[in-house]
Structure formats: structure tokens, C-alpha cells
Chain A
Amino acid sequence: MKLLRFFLIVILLFPLNSLNAVENNKRNEITKNLRCLICQGQSVYDSDSEFANSLKIVVDKKLQEGLSEHQIYEYFKTKYGEWILYDPSLNKNTYILWLLPILIFLIGGAIIYKSFIVKK
């Protein structure tokens, strides 16, 4: 009987717990990509300021409303602008940021190709 009760408790607790964990993971993932605007160099996830704490509640609410990660980012973008996102999208203000590493990589590759492979 005791064993049965034990198993019943485990079965009842387990799915709820894991559901909660999934939601928290999602929330953490999103808040890690949001900049805490009033802190210096901290994400919303890292910060414990009033602003960041409220933002975490809003993210939770939006997740409960069934919004996708992308929709939540869009929501914060309309409220606070592009700056709140750590992962900026590709547009005319950010194209250097995105293309420079690729360009440098290609030039580096060309140098290696010229000096090592062609010489042989």
C-alpha cells in the first residue's frame, strides 16, 4: 500500500514538474537574448533589477498566451526598439556587422589558399 501511494505521488508530480521546467527553459532562453536596458552589459536573465524582473513576468505571460519566441522578440522590439535584442536582425544598419566576419574569413581563406596550396 505504501509503495502504491509512493508511486502515485511520483506519477502525479513528474509530468507537472517537467512541464514547468520546459517553460522555464524557454523563458530563460528568451531573457538571455534580451538586453537589460537600464543595466550595463547584462542580459535580462542575469539582472535582478526592477526592470528586468518585470520583463521576466511579461515573458512568462506572453508564453502562457501562446506566443512564439519570435513573436515575443517582435513585441519587445516595438516597445523598446532593436537595441533590446542581443541578436540583431540583418538590415541596412547592421549589414557591416554581419558581413565583416564573413569577408574577413574569405580573405583569410584566400591568403591561405594562395600561399600554401597554389605554391605546391
Chain B
Amino acid sequence: MMKNKILPFLVIIIFGIVFFIFYKSLEDSKIYTPDVNTKKEVPVFNTKEFFSGENLKSSSIFELDKVYLLNIWSSWCVPCRQEHPLLMNLNSENKVNIIGMNYKDNLKNAENFLIELGNPYKEILIDLDGTLAIEWGAYGVPESFLIYNNEIIKKYVGPLNQGLVDEINLLIK
């Protein structure tokens, strides 16, 4: 007879636990926030240079002991337009080498974009079908990677703002 009393209790407790888990997870954010602090090596890839159309190897772009900022951009991307003056400023301070990655763009439009807003990039890689961005673990445009010693130190998803630029300046000191 004892057993018959334990069973309903057990059921209530299990339901309680399940309810608690579901209730707790209601408060969690459903929007995916990527892990931005993981240190990863720079991927190995081959691509073409934007202006010359020459083949480029990843190993020839990133030298050790130098800080790089890889910025994924596109002429059709509106937030890229907003962050572009910040990149121009960052480039004029000469503390970091900015590498551009032109994402799924019409090359003519991209060139016009640079003529209109200036070119902060030391080198620009072409990513016509977006597969190079996948190689970097990127989500879309704009996105920036801070690189030192062939390692991705920090990843910025979305447009840069003054606060983030200050953070970059702190990190590369």
C-alpha cells in the first residue's frame, strides 16, 4: 500500500522538474548570440585580389607580429556604409592593417563604393559566392575579425561603432 502513495508523488515531482526547466528556458533569449571570444587560427584559403585580379594565398597576407583587422563588406550592405568612416579613421591612425573582404558583390558597384567613401583597405579579397566567409565562420556583412600572430583574437558581428573602435584601440596597444 505504501508504494501506491509514492507513485503519485513521483509523478508530481517529475512534472514539477520538467515544468521548471521549460519555465526557466522561457526567459532565455531565442536569438543566437555567437561565441565571439574563442581564439581560432586564421583559415587557409586561396582567393583573388580585388584590383589586380591576381591569386592570393592566405599565408602571404597575414604576417606574424602584426595586427590585422579583416573587415567583410559589400556595396549593397547599408550598415557597411555606416561603419566605413570609422574604418577610414582607424586606417589613418596606422596602428592596424585593415584587410577587406568583398562579400557577394558586383565588382563595379564595389569600386564605386570605394571611390565614393574612400578606401581604408590595405588589400581586398574577393568572395563572390560567400564560401570564403563560411571558411572564416562568418554570418554575413558587416563582420570584422581582429587578428594577431595568425590568430583571431576577437570577432565583431555587425557594424562597428565608436565604442568598439575604442575597444580595438585598447586591445592592440
Selected contact of A111 from candidates B7, B130, B140, CB within 8 Å: B7
The answer to whether the Cβ of A21 comes within 8 Å of any Cβ in the partner chain is no
Question: Which residues of chain A in 54-83 are interfacial with respect to chain B, using CB atoms and an 8 Å cutoff?
Answer: 54-55, 57-58, 61, 79-81, 83
Contact of A38 with B140 at beta-carbon distance under 8 Å, contacts A107-B10, A107-B14, A114-B7 already known: yes
Mask, A28-57, CB within 8 Å of B = 1, is 000000000110100000000011011101
Contact of A79 with B31 at beta-carbon distance under 8 Å, contacts A50-B130, A51-B140 already known: no
Is the beta-carbon distance between B3 and A58 smaller than 8 angstroms? no
Least CB distance, B32 to chain A, in whole angstroms: 6
Mask, A97-113, CB within 8 Å of B = 1, is 00000001001000100
Residues on A with C-beta less than 8 A from B137 are 79-80
Interface residue tally on A, bucketed by range: 10 to 19
Is the beta-carbon distance between A54 and B129 smaller than 8 angstroms? yes
Mask, B3-25, CB within 8 Å of A = 1, is 10001001100100000000000
Number of interface residues of B (CB under 8 A): 20
Residue of A nearest to B140 (CB): A51
Residue of A nearest to B17 (CB): A100
Residues on A with C-beta less than 8 A from B140 are 38, 50-51
Complex CA gap A83/B140 in Å reads: 17
Residues on A with C-beta less than 8 A from B118 are none
Contact of A58 with B30 at beta-carbon distance under 8 Å, contacts A38-B140, A107-B10 already known: no
The answer to whether the Cβ of B34 comes within 8 Å of any Cβ in the partner chain is yes
Offer 22 A-B interface pairs, CB within 8 angstroms, sorted by A.
A37-B32, A40-B30, A40-B31, A50-B130, A51-B130, A51-B139, A53-B130, A54-B104, A54-B131, A54-B133, A57-B129, A57-B130, A57-B131, A58-B134, A79-B135, A80-B34, A80-B137, A81-B34, A81-B35, A107-B14, A111-B7, A111-B11
Q: A: which residues have CB within 8 A of B? A: 37-38, 40, 50-51, 53-55, 57-58, 61, 79-81, 83, 104, 107, 111, 114
